[in-house]
Amino acid sequence: MKPFSDATVAIIARSANLVMGAADEIALGLYRQLRRRSAEATGDEASALETQCVANIATFVRDVASNIGARDVRERFSGRLEGFQMHRSTYAVVGDILKPVLKDVLGADATNQLCAAWGDAYWGIASPPSQAA
């Protein structure tokens, strides 16, 4: 897999501290948007699932922000994303809700360029596992 574009890497690198600082809120926003689309878990099960899911997503966001310039970033994180065991359609949903969640959490700091760069990074990482799901 080829590395991300220089522009994507630069934007994510510049936004890394901002996004890492808000990683828990971003993860919670993604989880809540996904949860609205699914009624599988309820009660205590939902609370445990939320805690685990939010922690996993937040760690993933921080790791991507910290390592975006690495040569093997796509391969490294595609494998980790596969570990989430998402249904193929869920990858598309996450891709669709990423920008609105970033805008909600980061406010005016979530410029169109920042959202596009994070979207490019997400799809670059999510493409292989989404096709395998």
DSSP character string of 39-83: ----HHHHHHHHHHHHHHHHHHHHHHHHHTTSTTHHHHHHHHHHT
Q: How far is CA 4 from each of CA 20, 62, 86, rounded to the nearest angstrom?
A: 19, 17, 23
Range of the domain at 68: 6-132
Q: Residue 37 belongs to a domain with what CATH number? A: 1.10.490.10
Q: Based on the structure, what is the number of domains in the chain? A: 1
Tokens of 58: 């937040």
- The reply to whether 104 falls in a domain is yes
Average pLDDT over residues 100-114: 96
Whether the CB-CB separation of 85 and 53 falls below 8 Å is answered with no
Whether the CB-CB separation of 69 and 47 falls below 8 Å is answered with no
- The reply to whether 1 falls in a domain is no
10 band by pLDDT with thresholds 50, 70 and 90 = very high
Whether the CB-CB separation of 129 and 81 falls below 8 Å is answered with yes
Instruction: Flag whether pLDDT at 85 surpasses 70.
Output: no
